[in-house]
């Protein structure tokens, strides 16, 4: 079992780590880990919201504003930790079986999906426009059950790391042409 670990930056310049582990020639695991939740950022966000609530309380003398600010801050932090902040994403490739995608969130919640090898048409690098830059990301093309030459779905690999950088934005392909690997990842 050889393990390699390298450091990179995401599209916002935040540090991420890529860990590659070979269990056998037919089984590999890739893990992308992001930085842990910053206590300083949480404290700054909480302080700003509560200072604004105290300023509004000073003007209006309404205690419901203080209670609302505490409630909104706590619910916002819980939702962020449980739904948005990803600690690490894992891609497990097993040659004759398929691909398993896992995302582990800061709260400990884990989301896992599995794609059988028979459903995979190809693994490609897709390009997308994000803000004013072009980003490249891995995708799995799934076979269309009706049309043998068609593609039913495009599944991005490490999707939360790509799409949660700016919530609410969607990635739009530049062209319909995809860059295809000459050497398949599953072998």
**The predicted structure's pLDDT at residue 116:** 93
Give 11's contacts (C-beta < 8 A, 6+ positions apart): 130, 133, 135, 162, 165
Boundaries of domain holding 144: 2-37+85-180
Residue 86's nearest CA partner among 100, 72, 102, 75 is 102
pLDDT less than 50: residues of the chain = 163-187
Same domain? 77 vs 129: no
**The predicted structure's pLDDT at residue 114:** 93
Q: Which of 83, 113, 138 is the last residue of a domain?
A: 83
What is the pTM for the complete model shown? 0.69
Same domain? 147 vs 91: yes
Q: Which of 83, 113, 148 is the last residue of a domain?
A: 83
Give 131's contacts (C-beta < 8 A, 6+ positions apart): 166, 169
Same domain? 71 vs 90: no
**The predicted structure's pLDDT at residue 2:** 63
**The predicted structure's pLDDT at residue 163:** 38
Separation CA 2–CA 92 (nearest Å): 15
Separation CA 140–CA 121 (nearest Å): 8
Same domain? 71 vs 151: no
**The predicted structure's pLDDT at residue 156:** 85
């Amino acid at each position: 079992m050889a393990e390699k670990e390298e450091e990179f930056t995401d599209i916002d310049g935040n540090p991420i780590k890529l860990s590659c582990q070979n269990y056998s020639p037919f089984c590999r695991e890739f893990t992308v880990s992001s930085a842990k939740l910053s206590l300083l950022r949480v404290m700054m966000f909480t302080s700003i919201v509560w200072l604004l609530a105290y300023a509004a309380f000073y003007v209006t003398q309404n205690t419901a504003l203080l209670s609302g600010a505490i409630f909104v801050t706590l619910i916002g932090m819980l939702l962020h930790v449980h739904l948005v902040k990803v600690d690490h994403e894992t891609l497990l490739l097993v040659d004759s079986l398929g691909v398993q995608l896992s995302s582990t969130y800061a709260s400990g919640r884990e989301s896992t999906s599995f794609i059988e090898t028979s459903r995979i048409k190809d693994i490609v690098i897709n390009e997308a426009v994000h803000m004013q830059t072009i980003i490249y990301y891995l995708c799995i093309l799934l076979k269309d059950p009706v049309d043998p030459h068609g593609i039913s779905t495009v599944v991005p690999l490490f999707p939360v790391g790509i799409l949660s950088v700016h919530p609410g934005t969607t990635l739009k392909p530049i062209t319909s042409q995809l860059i295809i690997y000459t050497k398949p990842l599953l072998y």
